[in-house]
Amino acid sequence: MNNALKVVCVLVFLCGCSAEDPPATAEKPAVGQVQTTSTAVVDEQRIADIETNEPGAWLTFGRNYEEQRFSPLTDINRETVKDLGVAWYKDLDTYHPVQGTPLVIDGVMYFSTPFNIVYAVDAGTGAEIWRYDPEVPRVTRRRACCGANARGLAAYKGRIYTATLDGRLIALDARSGSPTWEVDTVIDHAREYTITGAPRVAAGKVFIGNGGAEYGVRGYVTAYDAATGEQAWRFFTVPGDPSAPFEHPEMELAAKTWKGGEWWKIGGGGTVWNSIVYDPDFENVYLGVGNGSPWTRVLRSPGGGDNLFLASIVALDVHTGRMKWYYQTTPGDNWDYTAVQDMMLADISIDGAERKVLMQAPKNGFFYVIDRADGKLLRAHKFATVTWATHVDLDTGRPVENPDTAYLDNPKWVLPGPGGAHNWHAMSFDADRRLVYFGSHDLPFLFAMPDEYEKTGLYKRRPGQWNTGVEFGRIERLMRESPDPPQNAGFLNAFDPVTGEKKWVVEQDFAWNGGVLATAGDLVFQGAQTGKFVAFDSDSGETRWQMDLHSSMVAPPITYEHEGRQFVTILTGAGGGAPGSADDLYGSTGRVVTFALDGKAELPSPVERNRDYPEPPALTAAVADIERGEVLFGDICGACHAPGAFSSGGGIPDLRQMNRETHAEWAAIVLGGSKRDLGMDSFADVLTADDSERLHQYMIARTIEARKETAAAEAAAAP
């Protein structure tokens, strides 16, 4: 086990004090840094007192421990919001997806951007105080299924905690941005572990999981001592090699639910890549556990079984890491149905009793309300179009699968698809109205068994590639040729978690819109893929205010008060495994934008998307080679450049727009790794020279198609 502790004791050097105790006296700022008066000394009591002592702060990923993302601030309300304008903005110099939630503590805003560059800025002006770059190798992007995502930070006792795409957990001095300790959280660097989620801190410990299930890894969460970085405990989410001893007692229980096959060689999955929530009422920490690796259950566990703890919510004792209870949303996951989506805690009246509940709307399309005392399922309402199961049986707590969508023998359209009916996009809970506001979407997917399975019945892990058991290139074509495909759609919901009723629904122009913020000003804020930032009325869903921010958005807004003034902030930028839309007006601009009443700043002029497709070299390959190129593209390239090569999910280059020079460099880029510094790795380990050229010919064919479509559209638009 690799837990090399690299204590970068900057504080010891500078002040001779121990790493356990951040200094109370100010140290001199480094050249180019502005001194702040804040030390972000956040602890359990300060977070517990946020509503009474500092309602204008945003202290944790979800604002407080309950992670309800609801603000009691009311200066910006349904009457005054018409005067909302840009107070300040700051460009982030990135074309990668921007998903982060900022923290606002003692007048300082902290946020992180792709490749985990952490910023501290003045919350009133956006002036930079410090910036920390952990120098994540850009080529790490290849190991991340869905982008160089960075969803957030944690603050605790004068430190800011960040976790990096390449698997490190780092404690920064909140005043200077200097690292005080750093640990490598990855147990096996031969596997494609990444971190995109925000660490959480409580009870003197920092909790962090990881991603990588699409590639084939085994999930786990580790707790580290917040002061020193020493490992406190580790909880694996799926069993390992059956010939080795169980790492902890829960693995014995889990192992009984995996039958046949060699899942540990593939990885098993169950990564905790987003939600980890601390519950001070029970001194629990809840893990939202991800999908199986591979996705298809018969490839992973051919003898059946529930495959614990895939797609589960697991409650651990915060001090020991021992399990108290679990609830599995999708036993024997067969569809990439992660249960990693944001979890929020609340006290609500349900069935005539006051209950302490946990709420989650995971990918599988059911909204769960679970009793935090014992893990008992209280509600499981459908919140979107769901075809994989008819309902959840509240007595057994188990979903009832729909045999009509079983895809073992024939390909089947299934809803939700792997994008989920709701993904990591943040929700917000208005306790007075008893409404959860969140975006949902219909992103249907045609599930089919891989050709390899037809031939051998086995699945062999492919290092350096996706190991989902799903052949994306082939499925892309099946979906395109499907006579009656279900349609994509996006919604914003005002959802009652107890009754399952929607008080209102806004149908949106595209699927995959941003996270949500609700406030006591009777407003619900959300950024959309269209580039519109909107304030909806909490009671009716009517648009009360909107502004075009010239960039798609997926991140959640926050609000805070600084020097008596209420602000709203959102990080703009598209992507993060997005399905994308060829109709997006602008694409992605990484920027932090902050609003206030009477804000007068103006955003720079928008940059419209380039829709120019230069003439490519001649298409020379046979049809069979182009088709092979399509399958390879779906398997290997689509994760970044989008299935079908339309690349509209974010700012990653659209390969149909390559110029002659880039075409000439194809092999040097794809096999030679000449653009590694930009994140485009060499794929010589998984592609032959012939297959590289088949991919190139496929891209030429796609470019020719795009040129024809553009010409036809121009002809139709001509007077």
- Residues 692 and 671 sit within 8 Å (Cβ to Cβ): yes
The C-alpha angle 228, 233, 239, rounded to 5 degrees, equals 145
Q: How far is the CB of 307 from Ca ion (least distance, A)?
A: 14
Burial of 316 by CB count in 10 Å (0-12 exposed, 13-18 middle, 19+ buried)? buried
Residue 336 designated active-site = yes
How many angstroms separate the CA atoms of 235 and 250, rounded?
9
Is residue 336 near Ca ion by the rule CB under 5 A?
Answer: yes
Sign of the C-alpha dihedral, residues 86, 88, 94, 99?
Answer: negative
CB of 50 to Ca ion, least distance (A): 33
The reply on whether position 271 binds Ca ion by CB under 5 A is no
Q: Which residue, among 288, 294, 257, has the nearest Cα to 274 in the 3D structure? A: 288
Would you call 340 exposed, middle or buried from its count of C-beta atoms within 10 A (0-12, 13-18, 19+)?
buried
Cβ proximity to Ca ion: between 306 and 336 the closer is: 336
Shortest separation between residue 374's beta carbon and Ca ion, angstroms? 29
Question: What contacts 96, CB < 8 A, 6 or more positions away?
Answer: 114, 115, 141, 147, 148, 149, 573, 575, 590, 650, 651, 652, 679
Calpha distance 102→116 (Å, rounded): 13
Q: Which two tokens stand for residue 706?
A: 């795009």
Alpha carbon separation from 688 to 146, 622, 670, 692 (Å, rounded): 25, 18, 10, 6
How far is Cα 115 from Cα 140, in angstroms, rounded to an integer?
9
Does an H or E element contain 553, and which? none
Q: In the block, which residue shows the tokens 């395109």?
A: 480
User: Which of 336/691 has CB closer to Ca ion?
Assistant: 336
Beta carbon nearer to Ca ion, 164 or 291: 291
Sole window of 257-265, 329-337, 516-524, 599-607 interacting with Ca ion (rule: CB under 5 A): 329-337
- Only one of the segments 46-54, 67-75, 286-294, 499-507 lies at the binding site for Ca ion (rule: CB under 5 A); that segment is 286-294
DSSP E strands: which ranges in 422-488?
Answer: 428-430, 435-442, 445-447
Shorter beta-carbon distance to Ca ion: residue 340 or 523 = 340
Binding residue for Ca ion (CB under 5 A) from 291, 440, 529, 538? Answer: 291
Shortest Å, Cβ 90 to Ca ion: 32
Nearest CA to 176 out of 129, 121, 113, 227 is that of 129
Question: Is-contact 561 53, C-beta < 8 A?
Answer: no
Q: Which residues contact 562 (CB under 8 A, 6 or more apart)?
A: 56, 104, 107, 123, 124
- Choose between 423 and 508: whose C-beta lies nearer to Ca ion: 423
- Residues 352 and 378 sit within 8 Å (Cβ to Cβ): no
CB of 414 to Ca ion, least distance (A): 15
State the minimum distance, in angstroms, from the CB of residue 291 to Ca ion. 4
Catalytic residue, from 336, 430, 522, 635: name it: 336
Q: How many residues bind Ca ion (CB under 5 A)?
A: 2
Residue 94 or 291: which CB sits closer to Ca ion?
291
* CB 444, min distance to Ca ion, A: 17
CB under 5 A: which stretch of 285-293, 534-542, 585-593, 615-623 binds Ca ion?
285-293
The window from 62-70, 179-187, 290-298, 571-579 that contacts Ca ion (CB under 5 A) reads 290-298
CB of 687 to Ca ion, least distance (A): 24
The stretch among 310-318, 336-344, 524-532, 630-638 that binds Ca ion (CB under 5 A) is: 336-344
CB-wise, 110 or 388, nearer to Ca ion? Answer: 388
**Residue (61 or 295) nearer to Ca ion, CB:** 295
Determine, following the binding rule CB under 5 A, whether residue 522 of this chain makes contact with Ca ion. Answer: no
Minimum distance from residue 226 beta carbon to Ca ion (Å): 29
Report how far apart the first and last C-alpha atoms of the chain are (Å, whole number).
Answer: 69
Distance between CA atoms of residues 162 and 185, nearest Å: 12
Cβ proximity to Ca ion: between 183 and 340 the closer is 340
Backbone region of residue 205 per phi and psi (left: phi > 0; alpha: psi in -120 to 50; beta: other values): beta
CB of 613 to Ca ion, least distance (A): 32
Using alpha carbons, select from 573, 673, 493, 551 the residue that is nearest to residue 149. Answer: 573
Task: Closer to Ca ion by CB, 267 or 497: give it.
Answer: 267
Q: How many CA atoms lie within 13 A of 377 on its CB side?
A: 21
Query: Active-site positions?
Result: 336
Residues engaged in binding Ca ion (CB under 5 A): 291, 336
